Structure 1
Amino acid sequence: FEPSFDVFDSKTINAKKREKLYERILENCLAYSVKMISPEVIDSKNILKATFDAMDEVLGELSKFEPFALIDGNRYKGKFAAKTIVDGDALCFSIASASIIAKVERDRWMLQVAHAEYPQYGFNKHKGYGTKQHIENILKFSPSPLHRRSFLKKILSKNLHPQIAMVEV
């Protein structure tokens, strides 16, 4: 499967096209691994440390391939050989492909698990991103176990919604 100009930053591709690319990528990749991080782990470690730990876990699962990781961003403090690339999902086919896999897996989980368990939050519409509707639903129903307390504190610090102070963090 030749690198394609259709594969780039997953956030800029509509969901239907992303799903098609996801299937095509999986049909042609040697191996992949996805790690979901719980809100509790993110809140206890911070999102960056939790992300680095998840990267190491995934690379460990792929260690029989002696992975060299290409990572979107400007830093990686982990156990494996890696090169960071700022805007990597826009510049590197491998990073863009990984971005598509991760986004599709996360969006599917948000629909199949999060929305199924907590439909009142509208995860099927915003998929957990901090939209106005999402914030309003947190205010209306209070945070679910899926909401990161660190996310809620960030909203409070930005004072995006005066009423959000009523949410117990």
Structure 2
Amino acid sequence: WLEVIEHWLPDNAIVALDSTQLGYSAHWWLPALHSRSWLAPYGFGTLGCALPMAIGASVAAPDRPVLAIAGDGGWLFTVAEMAAAFDLKSDIVMILWDNSGYEQIRTSFDDVAAPRMGVDVSSHDPSAIARGFGWNAVDVTTPEQLASALDAALKTSGPQFIRIAVS
């Protein structure tokens, strides 16, 4: 997944990362070629911050592409901000890593043989929610589909939502 994102990512892009597995990996994988281009909540464990940070970046630097990476659980903390992004006509590409819950917390429970509680998030359709806020939305399940979706997103104005469905 990250190879596809790296290949697609414009040199002048601003990247906003949430606390999610794909975001943690992106920190080590994706290049940060310019100052003031990398937004991440390191050390805070903040959930839901990628979308508001991306909106701020798109307002501050409307001439630069903005990529937000969030997980399906954390995204729910600030999902209403999709309305602001649409109203502002923000050219944000948001990638949602959808593993139906809080996988990092699931793993933490499993590591100590504790019962899993409150870690499953499967009662909603993220892409339908994004469309409800006026975003263009697409679901992908393969890196090849992600590449096509990212290419299309660069050619389309307004906020773009790409849900990566993982099992």
Same structural fold, with TM-score higher than 0.5 when normalized by the shorter chain: no
Structure with more of its chain in helix, by fraction:
1
Q: Give the TM-score taking structure 1 as reference length.
A: 0.29
Structure with more of its chain in strand, by fraction:
2
Q: Give the TM-score taking structure 2 as reference length.
A: 0.29
